[in-house]
Amino acid sequence: MIDYHKTYRSLEKALESIEEKGERSSTLAGILEAIVAGPGESLGITGGRLYAADPDRAHYRLEHTVGRSGRARPGFTVSTDYRPIQRLLQEGFLLMEEDDPDFDASIEGRVGARRFAAITVGKDGRHFIAFTLGEPIDPVRAVYLLGTIRHVINLRLTQEHLLHDLAEARQIQLSLLPEGPPDFFNFDIAARSVPADDVGGDLFDYPLQTPKNLGVVIADSCGHGLPAALMARDVITGLRVALDVQYRLTTAVERVNRVVAKSALASRFISLFYAEFEPSGNLVYCNAGHPPGLLWRAGRITRLKRGGMVLGPNPRARYERGFEKFPPGSTLLLYTDGITEAVSPAGKFFGAGRLERLLRETRHLPAETIVERVFAAVDQWSPTPRADDQTVFVIRRP
C-alpha cells in the first residue's frame, strides 16, 4: 500500500526550491519539472506536460514538457471536446490506459503516452498537468498519488497567492508612510517603522501641513500582521479626512474613534498620539491610549498623557487636549510599545525608564541619529526576532 505521508513529504520537499515566477504558467512549469525530476521516478512518472486553456476555452494548448513527451511541442492543442478532457474537468483528475474507449491514439501518440494520469490545478480550470506513466498502475494507488500531487500543488498555489496579496498589502502600507519629513521652519524630524511581520500595525504620518501648523501622528493597532496593518491604514486615512474638513483636534479624534468602533471587530483597538506644532512653539496634542510621548524641555522630561482611551472599544468616548510649550532646545520622542516592551534574553522589558535615559543622553543629536540610537539600543537589548512592530518618531527644535 502507498505511504501517503511519505509521498506527501517527498512532494513538499521537491517544491521547496520552486519560486513564484509572476505568471501562473511559469510557476506551474517549475513545479512540473520539480515533480518529474524529483519523486516522479519513484511514482512511475516518466514525463509530464502542462496545458493552459485558450481564452475562449475551446482548446487546451501545450505550454511546457518534461521528460518523455513524444513529438509534441509547445503550441500543440487539444480540443475541449476531447472526452478525456471533459472527464478531467468534471472529476479533477483522470487515469487512462490505451484500452479505454475514450483513449485517442492519434492524440496521445503525439505526446508519446500509452497511459497517463492528469490533474487540474488551481480553482479556475485554466490549467491541467498530464503525467506519462511508464508502467500500468493500480487504480487505488493512482487515486492516492493524483490526489496527493493535486493537493500539494494547489496548496502551493494558494500559498503563493496569499504571499502575493501580502506583498501588495505591504506596498499599500509603505505607500502610506511619508517619503520624508516635511519642511516646517527649522524643526528637525525623523521617523522609522519596522514591522514584526511582512506588514505591521504601526504607522506614522504628517496629516496636517500648513504654513501655520504641522500635525504629526503615530498609531499602533493591537496585534500585528495584515489585520493590524489594515486597521492602522484606515485610522490614518480617516484622520486625514477629518482634519481636511477642519475639525478641531479632539473632534477629529472622536470622529475616527466612532468609525473604528463601528467597523472593527470587538476584540480590536488602536492607540494613537496626535500632536500639532506652531512656529511660535505652541504644542497641542491628544493621546488616545498610546504610550506617553516624552518631551525633553529645559532640563527635564515630561510625559504627555492627556487625551483619553484607545480607539475602538467605546464609540461615545470623549477626548481632551493637552497643551505644552516647545521652545528651542526641545525634543519630543514618540514610540510604540514594541520599543518599551522589547524583551531581553532574561525576560525583562526594555522599559520607558531606559528610553528616557537614552533621550537625555542623545537629546542634542540630530533627529535621525536619535532614531538610530534607539533602534540600536533595543536591538542590543532584545537580539531575538521582533515580537511586535516597532516605531520611533523624533521631533526636535534646535
Structure confidence by residue, pLDDT tens digits, 159-191:
655 555 556 666 665 666 787 899 999 999 999
Q: What is the pLDDT of residues 54-72, one digit of tens each?
A: 988 899 999 999 887 777 8
CATH fold of the domain at 4-169: Beta-Lactamase (3.30.450)
Strand-pair category, 282-288 with 127-133:
unpaired
Q: Give the tens place of pLDDT for each residue, 227-268.
A: 677 777 788 888 988 888 777 899 999 999 998 887 645 446
CATH class name, domain 177-397? alpha beta
Average pLDDT, the chain: 84
In the numeric block, which cell numbers belong to residue 31? 513545479
- In the chain, residues under CATH classification 3.60.40.10 are 177-397
**Nearest to 235, CA basis, from 218, 216, 213, 249:** 218
Buried (b) or exposed (e) across 10-26, using 16+ Cβ within 10 A?
A: bbeebbeebebeeebbe
User: What mean pLDDT comes out for the span 19-30?
Assistant: 66
Percent of the residues in the chain that have a pLDDT greater than 90, as a whole number: 45
DSSP string, 204-238: EEEEEE-SS-EEEEEEEESS-SHHHHHHHHHHHHH
- Is 92's pLDDT higher than 80? yes
Predicted pLDDT of residue 165: 56
What's the one-letter identity of residue 157? Answer: L
Which ranges in the chain are annotated with CATH 3.30.450.40? Answer: 4-169
Grid cell locating 177: 508612510
How far apart, in whole angstroms, are the C-alpha atoms of residue 64 and residue 158? 21
Instruction: Check residue 323 and report its DSSP letter.
Output: E
More confident residue, 1 or 182: 182
Greater model confidence, 381 or 124: 381
68 vs 184: CA distance, rounded Å: 69
Q: What is the mean pLDDT of residues 322-342?
A: 96
* DSSP string covering 330-369: EEEEEE-HHHHT-B-TTS-B--HHHHHHHHHHHTTS-HHH
